[in-house]
Amino acid sequence: MIHILLVSSDKDFFIDLASNMEKNVNLNISRAESGGNALSMISVNNFELVVTDESLSDMTGLKFVEKLVLTNPMINCAAVSSLSSKDFHAASEGLGILMQLPPRPDKIHAENLLQHLNKILNITS
């Protein structure tokens, strides 16, 4: 079972991404409404993937990832960002982000993200 945490202050933000991911029977999706809440959940639960919105109620998505890496440097993370690929790379360098997602990730993004995650999990298992 793959455990995924979706982090967004907007409860409907990841609705398309989650609905497409939930078609996979080997997934368990949890949600957090803030970076602080997500960090608390991560400290007591094992997640194979964390996906963060660009802007959370208590910090930016990239600031959350910085804190996440300090808590668990080996966790797989994807981040929503409206930055260009080049600017996103510069802003997130050193954070080990698995994938940049567009502002409204959909079915194709869900499939690509799960494909990347499965490759990593197969290598590290």
CATH code of the domain containing 96: 3.40.50.2300
Q: Is 102 left (phi over 0), alpha (psi -120 to 50) or beta?
A: beta
Domain count, the chain: 1
| For residue 54, pLDDT beyond 70 | yes
What digits encode the pLDDT tens for the residues 103-112? 989 889 999 9
Write out the residue range of the structural domain in which residue 107 sits: 2-124
CA-wise closest residue to 2 among 29, 20, 23 = 29
- For the chain, where are the alpha helices, taking DSSP H only? 15-21, 35-44, 61-71, 85-92, 107-124
What digits encode the pLDDT tens for the residues 78-97? 999 999 999 999 999 999 99
Among residues of the chain, what percentage have pLDDT more than 90?
A: 76
Q: Compute the distance between CA of residue 101 and CA of residue 113 in angstroms, rounded to an integer.
A: 9
Decide the pairing of beta strands 49-52 and 2-7: parallel
Cβ(86)–Cβ(65) below 8 Å: no
Q: What is the pTM of this model?
A: 0.94
